[in-house]
Amino acid sequence: MQMVTLRDIARAAGVSTMTVSNVVNNNLSKVSEENATRIRALIKEMGYVPNSSARSLAKRSSKIIALILRGRPDENALENPHNAILVGTMIQMIQQRGYYAMLSIMDSKDEISKSLQTWNAEGAIFLGMFDNEIETLYRSSDIPMIFVDSYSSLRQLSNVGINDYKGGYLAAKHFIEHGHHNLAFVGPQVLSNGVVQHRFSGFCDALSEYDLSLPKENIFAIKSATEQSSIAKIGEAIALYRKDITGIFVTSDEIAAFLIQSLRNAGAKVPADFSVIGFDDLVVCQQMHPQLTTISQDLEQKGKLAIEILFHKLADPLAPAESLILDVELVERESVITLESEL
């Protein structure tokens, strides 16, 4: 049987051999999505087998996997337990496969692109909300990229996330079922897309099902989970001036812990005065008093799946993009009390 060549694939697809070579080597920055899809289909149909020896010579293995964590220069993103668990899980799995993890905390897409080239990384995983930069980052490098907790309509993108919408929905429903109708939302600024937006949308949609709404004055935005002073001001303002609010949904357990402390510092009691629901189900939830009711996600599983997808792409550059959304659930503890329903 005659061996199928790049030229054969190119002739069948009506493109240049260079275009086919770019698809085979996952160099998609100059290849349209339509051409890439057609070429992959022809490769499978015609039984083309890449020359692995030639590809190895063309690009010497560095065995470096870049872990890019979204964060500002003036903050330590690893102080966030959510980030620490994800990064720790990934580094462990990368090392178990005989590779090296290069971790960097960055906020500039230009800086990220330059760093990936300098490190000669074989693959990269992005942790955090890179939603506005995804396409630019994806087009800036030919290496396999996996995004964690990012939202994009780019079909070639591999992403691992959770059902953020369901998390927000479950939180609102739990409050309502316990008689809470005047609720507040506390978290980073709600953008047009992304993790916070989806949690916010789920929360509001659940309210609307009960003919309830979330007034603008009940939405409290913070810059980051580590800005304790900002969270303290919100807690104090709610405790002193917004006693009409009975339930507060917070987009992370870390923020919830700071908020509850600030409510107490202002003389309020949780849950007697304000019921609180967090998000993530970190260990701190069971160490708090009262123990925190929260939306649970499996952070270790999320990290493991991101690594598995990346190494699958390294082994088979022609493998299609994968988008995995993990389920969430509400874990009921002690931070929400039942009020008499007015409905």
Q: What is the CATH number of the domain that holds 191?
A: 3.40.50.2300
What pLDDT score does 303 carry?
A: 96
Question: How many domains would you assign to the chain?
Answer: 3
Residues 117 and 154 in one domain: yes
Task: Give Cα 115 to chain centroid, integer Å.
Answer: 21
What pLDDT score does 97 carry?
A: 94
Q: Which residues of the chain have pLDDT under 50?
A: 1, 52-54, 56-58, 342-343
Q: Give backbone dihedrals phi and psi of 153, rounded to 5 degrees, phi first.
A: -90, 0
339 inside domain = no
Q: Please, what's the b/e burial string for 62-89 (b: 16 or more CB within 10 A of its CB; e: otherwise)?
A: eebbbbbbbbeeebebeebbbbebbbeb
Rounded mean pLDDT of the chain?
Answer: 87
Contacts 24+ apart (CB under 8 A), 118-122: 119/62, 119/64, 119/66, 120/62, 120/64, 121/62, 121/64, 121/65, 121/66, 122/61, 122/62, 122/63, 122/64, 122/65, 122/314
What pLDDT score does 265 carry?
A: 96
| Dist. CA 237–CA 239, nearest whole Å | 6
Q: Collapsing DSSP states into helix, strand and coil, what is residue 67?
A: strand
Tokens of 59: 């690009």
Residues 271 and 149 in one domain: no
**Cα–Cα nearest to 122, from 67, 50, 70:** 67
Domain termination residue (choose one: 43, 58, 73): 58
Question: What number of other Cβ atoms are within 10 A of residue 142's Cβ?
Answer: 16
What pLDDT score does 208 carry?
A: 97
Q: Please, what's the b/e burial string for 330-339 (b: 16 or more CB within 10 A of its CB; e: otherwise)?
A: bbebbbbbee
Q: Collapsing DSSP states into helix, strand and coil, what is residue 106?
A: strand
Residues 193 and 98 in one domain: no
Residues 187 and 256 in one domain: yes
335 inside domain = no
What pLDDT score does 324 carry?
A: 93
* Structural domain containing residue 308: 64-162+299-326
| Dist. CA 7–CA 4, nearest whole Å | 8
Residues 142 and 211 in one domain: no
